[in-house]
Amino acid sequence: MRIREVLAALTATALLAQVALVGALPAQAAGAKSPVNVGLVYSKTGFLASYGAQYAEGFAIGLDYATHGTGMAGGHKIVVTERDDAGDPAKAVATAKELIGQGYKIIAGSTASGVALQLAPVAKENNVLFISGAAAADAVTGNNRNTFRSGRQTYQDVLTAGTIVGNNLRGKKVVVYAQDSAFGQANLGAVRIVLGGAGADVTGVMAPLSANDFAPFSQKIKDAKPDLLFPAWAGATAPAMWKGLDDSGVFASTRVVSGLDQRSSYETLGTAATKISFLSHYFYEAPKTKANDFLVAALKKQNKVPDLFDPDGFVGAEMVVRAIEKADGEDVGKMISALEGWTFEAPKGKQTIRAADHAMLQPMFVAKLQGSGSNIAPQLVRTVPLEAVSPPVHPFK
């Protein structure tokens, strides 16, 4: 009897424990934090597809870095949905609205300036957080409180160029050679403000985005006899543009300052490569930071090295994680407040999101190319501190 009583007691205890365990499981599930969806809308195809690919791989690596490999922010799983806008603003707007209609509160990406400028008002109208990516147009900054950027803006490029050409510009002729796009017009406008403000006579030679023959534009530039040429170019036609300038003999008669493009462009510059002074948004050999080391190591595992817009994606992911952690979810007002005024370490170094207009204050670089053929590589001339290349405040509309 005693044995049976003991067994009965053990059986009852086990049943009670089982009931308690079963009862505890739903409570644990109910206490789990909800996932946060992030829409990544960028150029997977189209004119700027190579830039988009860099942004996307940088975002994935930055997410791994910022979440310490967990994919979680403040207990919330981050679920990323990629969509291709093909560089088309109308397609980007339709895609973003579709995601917003599904409940997405965070939209990131925007490889093209024209896309970013169309998505910014959509973010404000629908009260979602929009983090523009590689788009450089100055008008993204200060557009509205819902809109941020993870990359640099054109004004920072031009201020960096100003550190190269110096202040002795009074009476000098400066020609901006660019595509007739939001990016190109932004560069022309910034050069007029920065270099024109220092006394230079600034004019523009604008080529259609559809142009393939650049000889007429090169000849027009040569005939203008500028003291300084500032090409501001993006996309797959850059090699043909540079060849047109070289063939026309522009480099023999004019000083050329331009932005350092993606790595695949280096070899295509040919003999012009060493004749250009470069402002640089990023090349992986320049910064010495923990975040940059992480980015380099992650891509080394893929037998790759970081390219021009990898840090923009990386920083975009850092911003997403920060916003979700501080808001403990996706409350848009709290996410905006969490990002305003935030100073953090990015691959390029210390960066700050200016609260007044959401400009991304960051260091820039001056570089030169050395070598030839497949062995050509950038060399750091100097790092320009963020204080020296901070654009003027552009108050929210």
Domains of the chain by residue range: 36-152+286-362, 155-280
Write out pLDDT tens, residues 179-205.
999 889 988 999 999 999 989 999 999
pLDDT tens per residue, the chain (397 residues)? 443 443 344 344 443 334 333 344 344 344 589 999 999 999 999 989 999 999 999 999 999 999 999 999 999 999 999 999 999 999 999 999 999 999 999 999 999 999 999 999 999 999 999 999 999 999 999 999 999 999 999 999 989 988 888 778 888 999 999 999 988 998 899 999 999 998 999 999 999 999 999 999 999 999 999 999 999 888 888 888 998 998 999 998 899 999 999 999 898 887 888 889 999 999 999 999 999 999 999 999 999 999 999 999 999 999 999 999 999 999 999 999 999 999 999 999 999 999 999 999 999 999 999 988 888 999 999 999 999 999 999 999 7
pLDDT value at position 47? 86
Pairing between strand 360-361 and 349-353?
A: antiparallel
Report the amino acid identity of residue 364: M
H-helix or E-strand spanning residue 38: strand 36-42
Contact 194, 188 (CB under 8 A): no
**Separation between Cα atoms, residue 145 and residue 124, nearest integer Å:** 8
Classify burial at 101, counting beta carbons within 10 Å of its beta carbon; exposed 0-12, middle 13-18, buried 19 or more: exposed
User: Any residues with CB less than 8 A from the CB of 305 and at least 6 apart, and which?
Assistant: 263, 284, 296, 299
**Separation between Cα atoms, residue 151 and residue 331, nearest integer Å:** 24
pLDDT value at position 31? 58
Per the DSSP assignment, residues forming a β-bridge with 81 are 39
Residue with tokens 């305003």, as numbered in its chain:
340
pLDDT value at position 28? 33
Same fold, 36-152+286-362 and 155-280: yes
CATH code, 36-152+286-362:
3.40.50.2300
Which of 292, 260, 300 is CA-nearest to residue 277? 260
Report the amino acid identity of residue 66: A
Contact 221, 229 (CB under 8 A): yes
What are φ and ψ of residue 309, in 5° steps? -110, 10
**Separation between Cα atoms, residue 393 and residue 190, nearest integer Å:** 14
pLDDT value at position 221? 96
**Separation between Cα atoms, residue 279 and residue 249, nearest integer Å:** 22
Pairing between strand 228-232 and 255-259?
A: parallel
Contact 63, 80 (CB under 8 A): yes
Return the number of other C-beta atoms located less than 10 Å from residue 286's C-beta: 24
pLDDT value at position 121? 98
pLDDT value at position 272? 82
pLDDT value at position 188? 94
**Separation between Cα atoms, residue 302 and residue 153, nearest integer Å:** 29
pTM: 0.86
What does the block give as tokens for 364? 């820039």
Judge: domain 155-280, CATH 3.30.360.10.
no
3-state secondary structure of 261: coil
pLDDT value at position 140? 97
Report the amino acid identity of residue 30: A
What does the block give as tokens for 184? 């190109």
